[in-house]
Amino acid sequence: MNELLTIADQNLVLHRHPRHKKETLQAWDSADEYLINHFTENELQNQLGEEGQLLIINDSFGALSCFFQQLKRTTITDSYLSLSSIKLNMQRNNCNEENFLIQDCLQTFPENVKVVLIKVPKTNAYLEYLLQQLREVISADTIVVATGKVNMIHNSTLDIFEKYIGSTKTSLAKKKSRLIFSLVESQTLPENEIATTWEIEKQGWKIHNHANVFSRNHLDIGGRYLMDNLPEGDFEKVVDLGCGNGVVGMTAMQTYPNAQVTFIDESFMAVDSARINVIKNFEEERSENARFVVNNGLLGFKGESYDLVLCNPPFHQQQAITDHIAWSMFNEARFALVENGELVIVGNRHLDYKDKLERIFGNCELVAENKKFVILRAIKSY
């Protein structure tokens, strides 16, 4: 696996984070390279002037943030993993951080942006949100260039750029990647609310979902299955690990009325959605006993502190299919659980989580199953 990006007279050592022993994927792709080469060959730095700055949106692991280290720039992301990866890779390459700011996508976008570089996100809803916010801080002389793998750029993608920015065209494909160019034009902008709200009838909850939250338009069927199969017990400290919009943790708040429930996700939008949903659907006294944390799983949490961890583990990081996130979650859960504490997960039947849990915990029980999902429980013992 190559860790050295050599491009436009720079050599950058870049790692994906969190790192694991058998990593096969590099920390940049051909879309990053295409964007960097276009920027340098067309001398877009001249567009910045003395006061203007570069805005980088959706940098995955820091290739863009590190390469443009000599320029005043802000990087915006919804991913805690991307944020921490960017910071670590900047330190690894001794990048100057005095002219650099990194922030989550829910914060106000910076002013005086003269060049915008965008990695096209996975979902159109999130792209639409980003361009809606971007439109508030750019002007007719701002250059907007996006990039992505060819299979991620569709007519609907270009339509969103047209809708919020202006006339849009694409480049030829290189190494299965493409560039998108949008001219900032004066136009009547839609005032639609991109966040969604829907109801869970059984609980009578109204669920708010920011643009980049998993299963933002409906209740995830895996999450529903876990909600219907929570363990019996008198749990006092519970974690909804990878909480998404928080419906599993909210079910835990309802099922264990005296428990403190901690909602954790690496998405800033997910954790904020969970926070909003708890406040909207629970009395103030109960919602005050909930905690909301943006983090890489339970990494850095105190050991032997929780008696129940609930998890619907993802099997993607960015666009890559991987099981190392689930591995990390299970290992971190075991560390964080008290003796006889329980980890309860839902997973697709074809994913071999039972074997993983048995190897980590020394035990695993099948709690429930249907045609698509299994509910598994592992208990921490010494």
Tell me the per-residue pLDDT of 33-62, one tens digit each, with 9 for 90 and over: 999 999 999 999 999 998 899 999 999 999
> What pLDDT, in 10s, does the model give residues 257-303?
999 999 999 999 999 999 999 999 999 989 999 999 999 999 999 99
pLDDT at 213 over 50: yes
User: Which pLDDT score, from 0 to 100, does residue 351 have?
Assistant: 87
Q: How confident is the model at residue 1 (pLDDT cuts 50, 70, 90)?
A: low
Query: Do residue 301 and residue 176 come from a single domain?
Result: no
Q: Distance between CA 252 and CA 261 in Å, rounded?
A: 7
Q: Distance between CA 264 and CA 233 in Å, rounded?
A: 22
Q: Between β-strands 100-104 and 73-77, what pairing exists: parallel, antiparallel or unpaired?
A: parallel
> What pLDDT, in 10s, does the model give residues 309-338?
999 988 544 444 446 788 889 999 999 999
| Burial classification of residue 284, based on how many CB atoms lie within 10 Å of its CB (0-12 exposed, 13-18 middle, 19 or more buried) | exposed
Domain assignment present for residue 190? The answer is: no
Which whole number is the average pLDDT over 143-166?
Answer: 97
Enter the pTM of the model: 0.95
Three-class SS state of 255: helix
Among the candidates 148, 183, 218, a domain finishes at: 183
Query: Do residue 210 and residue 358 come from a single domain?
Result: yes
User: Which pLDDT score, from 0 to 100, does residue 321 have?
Assistant: 42
* CA geometry: angle 279, 282, 283, nearest 5 deg: 100
| Token output for 204 | 């009578």
Query: Do residue 234 and residue 126 come from a single domain?
Result: no
Question: C-alpha distances in angstroms, 217 versus 158, 196, 241, 295, 351?
Answer: 22, 7, 21, 24, 25
Query: Do residue 220 and residue 88 come from a single domain?
Result: no
**DSSP conformation class of 174:** B
User: Which pLDDT score, from 0 to 100, does residue 315 have?
Assistant: 58
Q: Distance between CA 374 and CA 351 in Å, rounded?
A: 10
Query: Do residue 356 and residue 241 come from a single domain?
Result: yes
Structural domain containing residue 30 = 4-183
Query: Do residue 173 and residue 225 come from a single domain?
Result: no
Domain assignment present for residue 358? The answer is: yes
Domain assignment present for residue 191? The answer is: no
Among the candidates 149, 183, 217, a domain finishes at: 183
Percent of the chain at pLDDT exceeding 90: 86
Q: Distance between CA 278 and CA 287 in Å, rounded?
A: 6
Q: Which residues contact 26 (CB under 8 A, 6 or more apart)?
A: 1, 2, 3, 5, 14, 16
Average pLDDT of the residues of the chain: 94
Domain assignment present for residue 333? The answer is: yes
**Residue 43 region by backbone torsions, left for phi larger than 0, else alpha for psi between -120 and 50, else beta:** left
Query: Do residue 238 and residue 148 come from a single domain?
Result: no
Q: Which residues contact 228 (CB under 8 A, 6 or more apart)?
A: none
What CATH number is attached to the domain comprising 299? 3.40.50.150
Domain assignment present for residue 334? The answer is: yes
Domain assignment present for residue 179? The answer is: yes
User: Which pLDDT score, from 0 to 100, does residue 314 have?
Assistant: 80
pLDDT at 231 over 60: yes
User: Which pLDDT score, from 0 to 100, does residue 355 have?
Assistant: 93
Q: Which residues contact 232 (CB under 8 A, 6 or more apart)?
A: none
Query: Do residue 175 and residue 202 come from a single domain?
Result: no
Query: Do residue 102 and residue 236 come from a single domain?
Result: no
Element (H, E) at 276: helix 268-281
Query: Do residue 42 and residue 82 come from a single domain?
Result: yes
Query: Do residue 179 and residue 200 come from a single domain?
Result: no
Among the candidates 183, 207, 236, a domain finishes at: 183
Domain assignment present for residue 188? The answer is: no
User: Which pLDDT score, from 0 to 100, does residue 325 have?
Assistant: 82
Amino acid identity, residue 214? F
| Burial classification of residue 63, based on how many CB atoms lie within 10 Å of its CB (0-12 exposed, 13-18 middle, 19 or more buried) | buried
Q: Which residues contact 102 (CB under 8 A, 6 or more apart)?
A: 65, 74, 75, 76, 77, 83, 86, 87
User: Which pLDDT score, from 0 to 100, does residue 187 have?
Assistant: 80
Provide the number of structural domains found in the chain.
Answer: 2
Domain assignment present for residue 128? The answer is: yes
Q: Distance between CA 342 and CA 211 in Å, rounded?
A: 32
Query: Do residue 206 and residue 121 come from a single domain?
Result: no
Three-class SS state of 375: strand
